[in-house]
Chains A and B, each alone.
Chain A
Amino acid sequence: MMQENSRSNVVAALIPRSNLQLARLCVITVVFGLLIFGALRYDNFLSSYNILSFLRYNSMFMLIALGMALVIMTGGIDLSVGGTAAMTSVVAATLSPYGWVAGLAGGMAAGLIVGIVNGLVVTRLRIQPFIATLAAMLATYGTALLLSGNQSVSVSYDTAFISIGQDDFLGFPIPAWIAIVCYIVGWIALERHPVGRRILAVGDGEATAKLMGLKVGRTLLGVYATSGLLAGLAGVILAAQFGAGQPTEGVGWELFAISSVVVGGTLLSGGVGSIGATLAGAILLAMVFNILNFENGLGVISLSAYWQSVIRGAFLLVVVILQAKLMNGRSQR
Chain B
Amino acid sequence: MTAAEDTAGPTPRFNFAAWLSRYGTLLAFLLLIAFNVIATPNFLSLQTLNVNLTQVATIVIVAVGMTLVIATGGIDLSVGSLMAIAGAIAPMILLGAIAPTTDPLVVLPLAFIVPLVVAGLLGWFNGFLVTHYSIQPIVATLVLFTAGRGIAQVMTNGNLQVFKNPPFQFVALGHVFGIPTQVLIMIVVVAAAAFLIKGTALGRQILAVGGNEKAARLSGIPAKRVKRFVYVISGVLAGLAGLIVVARNSASDANLVGLGMELDAIAAVAVGGTLLTGGRANIIGTLLGACVIQLVRYTLLANGVPDAAALVVKAALIVVAVYIQQSADRT
Interface residues of chain A, those whose CB is within 8 Å of chain B, are 77, 79, 121, 125-128, 130-132, 134-139, 141-146, 150, 251, 255, 258-259, 262, 267-269, 304, 306-314, 316-317, 320-321, 324-325, 327-328
Contact = CB atoms under 8 A, between A and B. Distances in A.
Contacts of A269: 136
Interface of B: 75, 77, 129, 133-136, 138-140, 142-151, 153-154, 157-158, 259-260, 263, 266-267, 270, 276-277, 306-312, 314-316, 318-319, 322-323, 326
Contact of B133 (A141, A314, A325): A325
Contacts of B270: 131
Contacts of B145: 255, 313
A53 B38 CA distance: 58
Contacts of B153: 304, 306, 309
Nearest to A129: B276
A309 B133 contact: no
B135 A320 contact: yes
Q: Lowest 9 CB-CB distances: which A-B pairs, in order? A: A313-B147, A142-B311, A309-B150, A145-B308, A306-B153, A139-B315, A310-B150, A324-B133, A313-B146
Contacts of B151: 310
18 contacts: A79-B263, A128-B276, A130-B276, A135-B318, A138-B267, A141-B308, A142-B308, A142-B315, A258-B139, A262-B139, A268-B138, A304-B158, A307-B150, A312-B147, A313-B146, A313-B148, A320-B135, A320-B140
B146 A309 contact: yes
Task: Name B's interface SS.
Answer: helix
Contacts, number: 145
B326 A139 contact: no
A34 B92 CA distance: 36
Contacts of A128: 276-277, 322
B144 A320 contact: no
B147 A135 contact: no
B158 A313 contact: no
A121 B277 CA distance: 17
A259 B306 CA distance: 34
Contacts of A144: 308
Most interface-central of B133, B151, B311, B312 (chain A CB within 10 A) = B311
Given A77-B138, A125-B319, A324-B135, A131 B276 contact: yes
A138 B277 CA distance: 22
B253 to A, nearest CB: 13
B133 A135 contact: no
A142 B77 CA distance: 22
Contact of A314 (B139, B147, B316, B322): B147
Given A143-B312, A255-B77, A314-B147, A127 B319 contact: yes
Q: Specify which of A130, A304, A309 lies most central, judged by the most chain B CB atoms within 10 Å of its CB.
A: A309
B322 A259 contact: no
A135 B316 contact: yes
Contacts of A313: 143-148, 150
Interface centre among A132, A146, A310 (most CB of B within 10 A): A310
B154 A310 contact: yes
Given A309-B149, A320-B139, A320-B143, A138 B323 contact: no
A135 B75 CA distance: 17
Contacts of A320: 129, 133, 135, 139-140, 143
Contacts of B316: 135, 139
Nearest to B259: A251
Contact of A306 (B143, B158, B263, B319): B158
B154 A307 contact: yes
A135 B322 CA distance: 11
B133 A321 contact: yes
With a 10 A CB-CB cut-off, give which of A79, A267, A304 has the most chain B CB atoms.
Answer: A304
Contact of B142 (A258, A267, A306): A258
A125 B308 CA distance: 25
A146 B309 contact: yes
B146 to A, nearest CB: 4
A117 B30 CA distance: 30
A77 B318 CA distance: 17
A42 B75 CA distance: 41
Among A138, A145, A259, A316, which residue has the most Cβ atoms of chain B within 10 A?
A138
A128 B138 CA distance: 14
B315 to A, nearest CB: 4
A287 to B, nearest CB: 15
